[in-house]
Amino acid sequence: MQRAILHVDMDAFYASVEQRDDPRLRGKPVAVGGALRRGVVCAASYEARPFGVRSAMPMARALRLCPQLLVVPPDFAKYSKVSDQIFEIFNAFTPEVEGLSLDEAFLDVTRSQVLLGTPLQQARGIKDRVRRETQLTASVGIAEVKFAAKIASDLGKPDGLVEVPVGQVREFLAPLPASRLWGVGPKTNDELQRLGLRKIGDVARADRVYLEARLGSLGPWLHDLANGIDLREVEPDTQAKSVGAEETFADDLEGEELLPFIHEQALRVGARLRRAGVRARSVHLKVKYADFRIQTRQETLPLPTDDGGEIYRIAARLLTKMEARPVRLTGVHAGDLGDEVAQLGLFDQGRKKRDRLNQSLDAIAEKFGDGAVLPADLLAARKK
Instruction: Give catalytic residues, as residue numbers.
Output: 104
State the sign of the Cα–Cα–Cα–Cα dihedral 363, 369, 374, 378: positive
Task: Of 153, 176, 114, give the one whose Cα is nearest residue 10.
Answer: 153
Q: Cα separation of 347 and 205, whole Å?
A: 71
57 within 8 A of 69, measured Cβ to Cβ: no
**Residue 366: strand pairing partners:** none
Asked whether the CA dihedral 34, 37, 38, 44 is positive or negative, the reply is positive
Contact criterion met (CB below 8 Å) for 214 and 191: yes
- Rounded to an integer, what distance in angstroms lies between the CA atom of residue 75 and that of residue 300? 29
Quick one: which of 260, 4, 286 has its CA closest to 122?
Answer: 4
Greatest alpha-carbon pair distance for the chain in Å reads: 73
State the CB neighbour count (10 A cutoff) for residue 222.
25
Give, in order, the Cα–Cα distances in Å from 142 to each of 135, 151, 231, 371: 22, 9, 16, 41
The gap between the terminal CA atoms of the chain, to the nearest Å, is: 62
Which residues in the chain belong to E strands, given as ranges? Answer: 5-10, 30-33, 41-44, 70-72, 97-101, 104-108, 138-143, 161-163, 242-253, 279-289, 294-305, 327-338
